[in-house]
């Protein structure tokens, strides 16, 4: 692993964290409306796994999608403008926080129906298999999604047809306010994947290096023709399910314990102790992220709202 790569991971982790803290501020000021689900605590998963992807691989996720949008390379200002409902947003101001997408980057979104995008991921993988390409599909979803029919149908078909898809479960311990054990008869999510014949393993989702290694291995297996793979990333969201969650279902001791494994802290400690970077270099990165975000908010504020005519544009795909 090169130094540049580690520093880029650090930059991405900090960018996601600060982007979301800024979004939360803008939400409280009433500048962002609708739903807003923060990914804070889970950043190492998007960063480490997307770093292992090939350019022609597809990425698809649920509504907790800001991080995935950032790491596939969408400019922060286009995402911020989208959250503000502005016409310059990456989805032209019509999608908002939960529906970020950029087809040119093979990033398909951003889906609000729990588990609803798993069949889409399976379909993307089927198309690539049909065309005999070496493209894989990375599909992200929460622990709660694994109790839904879509999950089981998708894994079954992927296993039956040996499709090139990597299922990445982001097990953050809760689906809204419901702990895994209260909604799932099987609490090790990997066991559900094994039931459909998929090689599956658990990964420390707070450690970007471990996420990267596991994803690289899984993608190599897919490209070697070994069929669909499954990774259960063990993680935690530090904030509420969405804005305004009173958090009555978990103790502050539990949150504090997980915060000791902050993904930014883990990478920072590694970089400093291995002398891969000094404090000044990291502070410089923090500062440049701050500047980029200030510009992103300014861009979003100054961009126009969509016009009334835009209501009827981009509803159907034109041939
Ligand atoms: C089909 C469907 N049922 C219920 C909901 C309401 N809902 C929104 S998020 C959520 C929890 C999902 O939990 P999980 O998959 O673990 O994802 P996380 O929010 O933890 O990232 C639920 C039940 C929904 N959006 N879609
Ligand atoms: Mg969850």
Q: How many angstroms is it from 102 CA to the middle of ligand 1?
A: 23
Rg (CA), the chain: 19
| 115 Rama class: left (phi>0) / alpha (psi -120 to 50) / beta | left
Ligand 1 atom closest to Cα of 171? Answer: 16
Q: How many angstroms is it from 150 CA to the middle of ligand 1?
A: 13
Mutation pick for ligand 1 pocket among 140, 175, 184 (CB with most ligand atoms within 8 Å)? 175
Query: Dihedrals φ, ψ of 170, to 5°?
Result: -95, 90
Which residues does ligand 1 sit against, CB inside 6 Å?
64, 112-114, 141-145, 172, 174-176, 241
Q: How many angstroms is it from 92 CA to the middle of ligand 2?
A: 29
Sign of the four-CA dihedral 236, 189, 47, 272: positive
Rounded-to-integer distance, Cα 274 and Cα 303, Å: 44
- pLDDT digit string (tens) for 278-304? 999 999 999 999 999 999 999 999 999
The protein residue with its alpha carbon nearest to ligand 1, atom 6, reads 114
Note the ligand closest to the C-alpha atom of 140.
Answer: 1
Q: How many angstroms is it from 311 CA to the middle of ligand 2?
A: 33
- Architecture of the structural domain at 3-302: 3-Layer(aba) Sandwich (3.40)
Rounded-to-integer distance, Cα 248 and Cα 173, Å: 15
Give me the residues near ligand 2 (ion), CB cutoff below 5 Å.
142-144, 172, 175
Q: How many angstroms is it from 134 CA to the middle of ligand 2?
A: 31
DSSP bridge partners of 167? 139, 230
- pLDDT digit string (tens) for 17-64? 999 999 999 999 999 999 999 999 999 999 999 999 999 999 999 999
Q: What is the mean pLDDT of residues 140-147?
A: 98
DSSP bridge partners of 170? 142, 233
pLDDT band at residue 119 under the 50/70/90 scheme: very high
pLDDT at position 115 over 70: yes
Rounded-to-integer distance, Cα 213 and Cα 211, Å: 6
Pairing of strands 178-179, 174-175: antiparallel
- pLDDT digit string (tens) for 154-189? 999 999 999 999 999 999 999 999 999 999 999 999
Note the ligand closest to the C-alpha atom of 172.
Answer: 2
Ligand 1 atom closest to Cα of 146? Answer: 15
Tokens 């990333």 appear where?
233
Q: How many angstroms is it from 145 CA to the middle of ligand 1?
A: 7
The protein residue with its alpha carbon nearest to ligand 1, atom 2, reads 114
Tell me what pLDDT residue 319 has: 63
Rounded-to-integer distance, Cα 138 and Cα 41, Å: 20
What residues does each domain of the chain span? 3-302
pTM (2 d.p.): 0.98
């Amino acid at each position: 692993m090169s130094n540049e790569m580690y520093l880029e991971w650090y930059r991405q982790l900090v960018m996601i964290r600060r982007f979301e803290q800024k979004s939360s501020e803008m939400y409280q000021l009433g500048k962002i409306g609708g739903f807003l689900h923060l990914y804070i605590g889970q950043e190492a998963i998007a960063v480490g796994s997307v770093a292992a992807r090939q350019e022609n691989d597809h990425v698809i996720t649920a509504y907790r999608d800001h991080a995935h949008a950032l790491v596939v390379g969408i400019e922060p200002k286009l995402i911020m403008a989208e959250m503000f409902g502005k016409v310059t947003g990456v989805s032209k101001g019509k999608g908002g926080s939960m529906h970020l997408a950029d087809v040119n980057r093979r990033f398909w979104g951003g889906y609000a129906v729990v588990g609803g995008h798993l069949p889409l991921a399976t379909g993307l993988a089927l198309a690539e298999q049909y065309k005999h390409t070496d493209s894989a599909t990375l599909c992200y979803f929460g622990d709660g999604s694994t109790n839904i029919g879509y999950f089981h149908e998708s894994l079954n078909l992927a296993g039956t047809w040996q499709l090139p898809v990597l299922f990445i479960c982001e097990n953050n311990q809760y689906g809204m306010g419901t702990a895994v054990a209260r909604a799932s008869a099987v609490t090790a999510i990997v066991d559900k994947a094994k039931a459909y014949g998929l090689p599956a393993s658990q990964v420390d989702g707070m450690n970007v290096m471990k996420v990267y290694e596991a994803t690289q291995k899984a993608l190599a297996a897919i490209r070697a023709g070994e069929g669909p793979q499954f990774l259960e990333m063990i993680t935690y969201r530090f904030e509420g399910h969405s804005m305004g969650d009173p958090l009555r279902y978990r103790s502050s001791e539990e949150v504090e314990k997980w915060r000791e494994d902050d993904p930014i802290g883990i990478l920072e400690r590694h970089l400093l102790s291995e002398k891969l970077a000094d404090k000044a270099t990291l502070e410089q990165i923090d500062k440049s992220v701050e500047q980029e975000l200030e510009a992103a908010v300014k861009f979003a504020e100054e961009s126009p709202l969509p016009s009334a005519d835009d209501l009827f544009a981009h509803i159907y795909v034109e041939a």
